[in-house]
Structure 1
Amino acid sequence: MASTHRAEDHRTPRSTSADEGENVVRFERPERLLAEDPSPLALAQLIEGEIIPRLLMAHRDAPASDVIPMNTGVIAPAELERFSRQVMVADLATLLEHIELLVRRGVGVETIYFDLLSPAAKRLGEMWEADDCSFTDVTIGLCRLQQIVYEFADRVHVETGGGDGRTALFALTPGDHHSFGLVLVVEYFRRAGWRTVCMPDATAEDLVDTVRAERFDLVGFSMANERWLDVLPPVIANVRQASLNTDLKVIVGGRAFEVDPSRVARVGADHTAGDAREAVQVVDAIFRRQQTVA
């Protein structure tokens, strides 16, 4: 439970007895303390010497809380849980107002992306798998999350990445349907200087036709559900074989690889990354090494 402070009209603090509840700072009338010297200086000394230390002590002794003060730039677990459920029922305007409040609170846009929106998408998947919500609920929620990403895309600052006009193709593993992580990846690569092509609904044949018709430096696959693991190896093998670029790099990501990174080699990919930020950094390092060798 959060710290509770009850101020009762111009009173100075006194100790709280055990039966009055934890972290409650009660106050007594200051007239007696200020009777001898009612000057502004005396009042300031009273606030500095008595009130502030007691308030700080109450905060220090407070138990861990899911309630985050309005001036902090972090997302609390309970806040994430509420938001994950809200995206399934609230309209976009309401959600954007909430995000704007977070920004004014001091939460950075990157923090919103990776500590709120992305975990919320994962939470939607977990709730669906646990039959805690319907497929329609999840679809609506993911749609809202994507709309928020696009709304705040121009505020994202990508410090790393040297796309230099290189081209990347991003797709879901054929059969998978959780595309929100892919949206974030595409947006980050785009802002890092990459030309991006996103094909979330592509079939294996579509992907082969695409890399046969256009040269790509990188192909990325996202996979949330491990049930599609056996689908991806032949897709990657066929994409490599058909690619106009004989040195095509393949990166994979998503929950299926987060829980077991050894699956990267199993599907025939080169690298993996935990999120869009890391993916940009990993790929940037790959191409920097190539330039150094060359």
Structure 2
Amino acid sequence: MHHDVQELTKQLLAGDQDAAWDIIDNQIEQGQDSLQIYHSLITEAMRRIGELWEKDEITVADEHLATTTCDFILTRYHFVKKKEFKQTDYPRRKALFLCLEQEQHYIGLKMVALLFEEYGWETRLLGANLPLEYAEKIAEDWEPEVIGLSLTIVYHAERLEQYVKALESLKHQPTIMVGGRLTSAYDFSLYCSTETRILKCLEDIEAFLQETGYGVRENARN
């Protein structure tokens, strides 16, 4: 997998969608599941790209090219995997995902949303930089059971507190999940409630999904 991470990093930075996809496709043929591909390959490649940017070894343009290329292969992977998803006529449980205002990194959040879809949830991915007022509005209208927030910049912690407090106060009382590359390194519990789920890695997401079960509303079967 180490060699594959290096090669994927190279192809993402080159913006070579076909070569990047070939690496993912090879992992599929080897029997790797989505969690393994997301966690051990794509996340690691994007982390390396972030480190290169922090060291000024690549430009902002390079990082943006890598991100859009990664977005493409995730979309293509989802198209392939969707053929395997369970089909149901029952109403599905709903999950909403968004980045805090001024947070631009959404790739990790997209992988989380795709994992939820594999477990049968109906998802909406709102992407980067969503002001709280718009997050509240769509959450009130759509009433998702879960709202996932992404945090990648440490000085946005106080903003996180505002989002958690507002969204947990909604009438339908959604479960708020907080994740991002910082949650494994810092303690954000002071900015959350005792009900907030702080997730440190994609493996925590899968554990949550296994705990809560397939994404069909329980009362839909009655």
Larger Rg: 1
**1:71-111 residue CA offsets vs partner (Å, 9 max, x unmatched):** xxxx02x442342132111421122233334444x251433
Please say if residues 99 and 151 of structure 2, whose CA atoms lie closer than 8 Å, have aligned partners that are also in contact: yes
Report the 3-state secondary structure (helix = DSSP H, G, I; strand = E; otherwise coil) of the residue aligned with 1:196: strand
Matched, 1:182 2:106: no
The CA deviation at 1:192 is 0.6
Query: One-letter code of the match for 1:81?
Result: Q
Q: Distance in 1 between matches of 2:191 and 2:93?
A: 27
Aligned twin of 2:204: 278
Say what the alpha-carbon RMSD is for the aligned residues.
2.7
| The one of 16, 28, 32 aligned to 1:108 | 32
Q: Match of 2:48?
A: 123
Q: 1:145 to 1:259 in 2, by over 3 A?
A: same
**CA separation of 1:102 and 1:229: change in aligned 2, threshold 3 A:** same
Kindly indicate whether residue 109 of structure 2 is the aligned counterpart of residue 211 of structure 1. Answer: no
| Structure-2 change in CA distance of 1:143 and 1:214 (3 Å) | same
The alignment's TM-score, normalised by the length of structure 2, stands at 0.81
For residues 23 and 207 of structure 2, the distance between their equivalents in structure 1, rounded to whole angstroms, comes to 30
* 1:138 aligns to 2:70 (yes or no): no
Shift of 1:117: 0.8
Distance 1:142 1:109, change over 3 A: farther
Tell me the equivalent position of 2:184: 258
Listed as ranges, the matches of 1:53-92 within 5 Å are 75-76=1-2, 78-92=3-17
The 3-state SS of whatever aligns with 2:177 is strand
Distance across 2 between alignment mates of 1:286 and 1:96: 32
Structure 1 residues 177 and 271, CA, compared in 2 at 3 Å: closer, same or farther? same
In the TM superposition, residue 283 of structure 1 has moved relative to its aligned partner by 4.9
Closer/same/farther in 2, CA of residues 132 and 227 from structure 1, 3 Å limit: farther
The worse-fitting range, judged by mean Cα deviation, of 184-193 and 125-134 is 125-134
Q: How many residues get paired?
A: 207
On the 8 A contact 1:109/1:152 being kept in 2, the answer is: no
Maintained 8 Å contact 2:160/2:191: no
Describe the SS at the equivalent of 2:73. helix
Pair 144,221 (structure 1): closer, same or farther in 2 beyond 3 Å: same
Map 1:186-197; keep pairs closer than 5 Å: 186-197=113-124
Q: Share of identical aligned residues, percent?
A: 17
Cα contact 2:4–2:23 (8 A) shared by 1: no
Output the amino acid matched with 1:191.
E
2:167 alignment partner, one of 239, 262, 270? 239
Q: 1:174, 1:232 within 8 Å by CA — same for their partners in 2?
A: no
CA offset at residue 234 of structure 1? Answer: 0.7
Stretches of structure 2 that go unaligned for 5 or more consecutive residues are none
How far off its partner does 1:263 sit?
0.9
Structure 1: state its 5+ residue gaps: 1-74
Task: Specify the alignment match of 1:38 in structure 2.
Answer: none
Structure with bigger RCO (C-alpha 8 Å, 6+ apart): 2
Q: 1:209 to 1:273 in 2, by over 3 A?
A: same
Per the normalisation by structure 1, the TM-score is 0.63
**Counterpart for residue 165 of structure 1:** 92
